[in-house]
């Protein structure tokens, strides 16, 4: 059963060694992530799984590693070859930074259907009596002129609705995210958030939004869901 969840973004600049002199720009988001992940550790789960988007749906073992070499620094998170996608690499980095030890890493295909995501989430929640999820996902990358994608007038509304859903621990709202619209708006967290919806259905958790910023024209959200 899901007893706690944290939602965090995964920009490489979250890692100070990658950000260099720009590390302060994401200081508040980084601090909020640390608060959210610390809450997972404090919940004392039997099993902690990191969930994030990638090329295909599969589960990586606890020893899986990831690399940030593609972002200009020779940083390897974990030991061994870097098989984790960026989302899970940042998830492992955050977990270790906060003293948490994930038991597995669930990679979900970015184009996974909603039904697949919900089923995966439900299955993850059933893996132990007390399950916690660290869910990695970015919002729309079409928020402003400095966004990676061309600015889209729908992006701000999409992200505001998502922030409200995370604040309210609104499982239905997350399950109802439109994959086509999410893809149009370059919201790469959609599949991971719908895995959370599948895991949290019936869990009765309360949400708290710790951060919602878009410093680089991309929506970054930090939230924690804990027992009421």
Task: Calculate Rg over the CA atoms of the chain.
Answer: 16
pLDDT band of residue 21 (cuts 50, 70, 90) is: confident
Domain ranges of the chain: 2-227
Secondary structure (3-state) at 122: helix
Mean pLDDT along residues 36-41: 96
**Nearest Cα to Cα of residue 158 among 133, 189, 134, 136:** 189
**Whether this model's pTM surpasses 0.85:** yes
pLDDT tens for each residue of 94-145:
999 999 999 999 999 999 999 999 999 999 999 999 999 999 999 999 999 9
Structural contact between residues 186 and 148, judged by C-beta atoms closer than 8 angstroms: yes
On the 0-12 / 13-18 / 19+ scale of CB atoms within 10 A, 47 is middle
Q: For the segment 201-227, what is each residue's pLDDT rounded down to a tens digit?
A: 999 999 999 999 998 999 999 999 999
From residue 142, give the alpha-carbon distance in Å to each of 77, 79, 139, 181: 29, 35, 9, 12
- CB 189 within 8 Å of CB 108: no
The burial class, CB within 10 Å (0-12 / 13-18 / 19+), for 50 is: buried
**What whole-number distance in Å separates Cα of residue 78 and Cα of residue 24?**
25
- Predicted pLDDT at 23: 67
The pair of structure tokens assigned to 69 is: 């070499």
The model's pLDDT over 145-189, given as tens digits with 9 standing for 90+, comes to 989 999 999 999 999 999 999 999 999 999 999 999 999 999 999
Q: Which two tokens stand for residue 159?
A: 């992200």
CATH entry, 2-227, from 3.40.1390.10, 3.40.50.300, 3.40.830.10, 3.90.1300.10: 3.40.830.10
């Amino acid at each position: 059963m899901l007893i706690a969840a944290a939602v965090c973004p995964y920009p490489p600049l979250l890692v100070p060694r990658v950000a260099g002199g720009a590390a302060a720009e994401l200081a508040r988001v980084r601090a909020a992530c640390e608060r959210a992940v610390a809450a997972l550790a404090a919940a004392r789960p039997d099993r902690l799984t990191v969930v994030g988007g990638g090329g295909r749906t599969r589960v990586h073992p606890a020893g899986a590693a990831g690399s940030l070499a593609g972002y200009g620094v020779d940083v390897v998170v974990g030991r061994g070859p870097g098989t984790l996608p960026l989302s899970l690499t940042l998830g492992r980095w955050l977990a270790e930074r906060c003293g948490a030890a994930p038991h597995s890493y669930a990679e979900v295909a970015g184009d996974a259907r909603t039904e697949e995501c919900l089923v995966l989430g439900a299955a993850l929640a059933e893996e132990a009596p007390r399950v916690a999820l660290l869910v990695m996902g970015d919002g729309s990358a079409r928020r402003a002129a400095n966004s990676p994608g061309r600015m889209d007038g729908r992006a701000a509304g999409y992200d505001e609705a998502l922030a409200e859903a995370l604040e309210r621990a609104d499982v239905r709202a997350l399950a109802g995210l439109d994959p086509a619209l999410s893809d149009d708006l370059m919201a790469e967290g959609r599949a991971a958030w719908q895995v959370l919806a599948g895991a949290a259905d019936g869990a009765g958790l309360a949400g708290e939004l710790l951060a919602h910023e878009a410093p680089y024209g991309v929506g970054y959200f930090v939230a924690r869901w804990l027992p009421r």
